[in-house]
């Protein structure tokens, strides 16, 4: 005999197997989230999890970029896990036999995990597991369900390593690029949840470094090689008063806003902290050298691109820039540039700290590196307040001290 919840599940599973317009897709995903938080049969929880990882309604959305879809999946499992655990705690607080049976949160998490076994793409697993971990922590389960959250933490680390190995075996370059970007994004959201846990150091940090660098710098949902900082060409002109004007309706301005909203760009801070963690704990000097070299190359590229932008000449003379450009365009552009500077500083601080305690590193090169990067990005740090945050100040001072002990180095 079928129950109303069985019929509800059957209907949602059917809708997940088709593609809908955006409004109906959101409805289907909301219904699926509600089911995840409500179902009591472990088999059905596993079944719905498996379906979500391959559903055309989820992954074939014509208007949703792939990484945005990944974040939607993470949000679904985060919401479901938090809601499920809250309901379970409510069930435990009531007298026996006064409300319907409710399976435990650990059984629910195990059922979700079993649903992953039928989906071979490991990078998708990361968003489910990170969502579950975040949701359980949101609901206060880290202390009350130590074993369960610990198992999910280990599962996140294992899934990361397996996903990295999976990417290495891919022959489709576009698919590999998406998987690398997805791994980077998932780990950036997972790592803060793994603070002070053994799982944090089991993420495959050596293999993560090149994946993160490539994804953040070059992926279409990342910084796109910072081309957005270049001149806006024919999109920009001058207003009636002869002031430089960058219209909000222009294609280049819309492109800037899209870049600023890219998932990997929004997560620049967490991504930088993952890179810093890798630098501090990796056993590979080559990995640290690559991070250093890529940061210097990025800073030089940004400086060169910005130098070609007419705004680089006018930004310090507001009278030459239209009020609309100052109010709408510059805040987005300058905030994005500041976030890049902050991310670079976080990673450079880790490199300098590692150099101080590791004789295998060439401390002359390491000591000079932050000076080169900060010099290239001085057009950002010279703006009011941009040189005040801790990562910038501590890195600059530590690099200066290290440089003083290496007279052969020059900035």
What are the pLDDT digits (tens) for 117-163? 988 899 999 999 999 999 999 988 666 677 888 899 999 999 999 99
- Work out the burial of residue 157: count CB atoms within 10 Å of its CB; fewer than 13 is exposed, 13-18 middle, 19 or more buried: buried
Q: Cβ distance 86 to 38 under 8 Å?
A: no
Report how many domains make up the chain: 2
What are φ and ψ of residue 389, in 5° steps?
A: -75, 155
DSSP state of 249: T
Domain match, 178 and 81 both? yes
Global pTM reads 0.92
User: Where among 150, 171, 203 does a domain terminate?
Assistant: 203
pLDDT at residue 411 in the model: 45
Do 181 and 274 sit in the same domain of this protein? no
Q: How far apart are alpha carbons 267 and 184 in whole angstroms? A: 10
Domain boundary among 182, 203, 224: 203
Claim to verify: residue 260 and residue 193 sit in the same structural domain: no
Each of the 411 residues of the chain gets a pLDDT tens digit; together they read 578 898 999 999 999 999 999 999 999 999 999 999 999 999 999 999 999 999 999 999 888 899 999 999 999 999 999 999 999 888 888 877 667 788 999 999 999 999 999 888 999 999 999 999 999 999 886 666 778 888 999 999 999 999 999 998 999 999 999 999 999 999 999 999 998 888 998 999 999 999 999 999 999 999 999 988 887 777 888 899 999 999 999 999 999 999 999 999 999 999 999 999 999 999 899 999 999 999 999 999 999 999 888 888 888 888 999 999 999 999 999 999 999 999 999 999 999 889 888 878 767 778 788 888 989 999 998 887 777 777 777 887 877 777 777 655 444
Nearest partner of 237 among 222, 252, 215, judged by Cα: 252
Domain boundary among 143, 168, 203: 203
Range of the domain at 295: 207-410
Query: DSSP characters for 293-350?
Result: HHHHHHHHHHHHHHHTSTHHHHTT-GGGB-HHIIIIIHHHHHHHHHHHHHHHHHHHHH
Tell me how far CA of residue 108 lies from CA of 54, 83, 103, 128, 165, in angstroms. Answer: 20, 12, 7, 13, 28
Cβ proximity of 152 and 136 under 8 Å: yes
Residue 395 pLDDT: 81
């Amino acid at each position: 005999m079928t129950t109303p919840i069985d019929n509800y599940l059957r209907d949602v599973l059917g809708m997940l197997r088709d593609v809908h317009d955006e409004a109906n897709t959101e409805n289907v995903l909301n219904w699926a989230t509600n089911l995840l938080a409500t179902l009591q049969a472990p088999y059905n929880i596993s079944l719905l999890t498996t379906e979500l990882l391959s559903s055309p309604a989820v992954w074939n959305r014509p208007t949703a970029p792939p990484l945005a879809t990944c974040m939607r999946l993470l949000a679904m499992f985060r919401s479901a896990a938090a809601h499920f655990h809250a309901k379970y705690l409510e069930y435990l607080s009531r007298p026996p036999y006064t409300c319907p049976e409710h399976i435990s949160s650990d059984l629910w998490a195990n059922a979700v995990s079993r649903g992953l076994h039928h989906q071979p793409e490991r990078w998708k697993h990361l968003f489910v597991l990170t969502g579950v971990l975040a949701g359980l922590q949101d609901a206060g389960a880290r202390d009350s369900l130590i074993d369960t959250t610990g198992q999910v933490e280990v599962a996140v680390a294992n899934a990361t390593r397996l996903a990295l190995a999976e990417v290495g075996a891919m022959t489709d370059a576009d698919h590999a690029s998406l998987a690398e970007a997805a791994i980077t994004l998932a780990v950036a959201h997972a790592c803060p949840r793994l603070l002070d846990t053994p799982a944090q150091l089991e993420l495959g940090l050596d293999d993560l470094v090149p994946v993160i660098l490539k994804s953040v710098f070059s992926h279409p949902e990342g910084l796109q090689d910072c081309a957005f900082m270049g001149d806006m060409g024919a999109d920009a002109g001058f207003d009636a008063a002869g002031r430089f004007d960058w219209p909000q309706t222009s294609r280049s301005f819309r492109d800037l806003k899209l870049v600023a909203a890219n998932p990997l760009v929004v997560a620049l801070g967490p991504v930088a902290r993952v890179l810093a963690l890798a630098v501090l704990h990796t056993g590979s000097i080559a990995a640290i050298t690559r991070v250093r070299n890529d940061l210097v190359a990025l800073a030089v590229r940004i400086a060169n691109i910005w130098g070609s932008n007419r705004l680089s000449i006018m930004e310090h003379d507001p009278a030459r820039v239209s009020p609309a450009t100052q109010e709408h365009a510059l805040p987005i552009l300058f905030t994005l540039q500041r976030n890049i500077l902050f991310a670079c500083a976080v990673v450079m601080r880790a490199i300098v700290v590692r150099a101080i305690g590791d004789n295998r590193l060439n401390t002359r090169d390491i000591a000079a590196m932050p000076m080169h990067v900060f010099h290239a990005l001085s057009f950002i740090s010279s703006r009011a307040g941009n040189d005040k945050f801790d990562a910038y100040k501590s890195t600059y001072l530590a690099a200066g001290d290290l440089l003083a002990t290496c007279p052969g180095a020059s900035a």
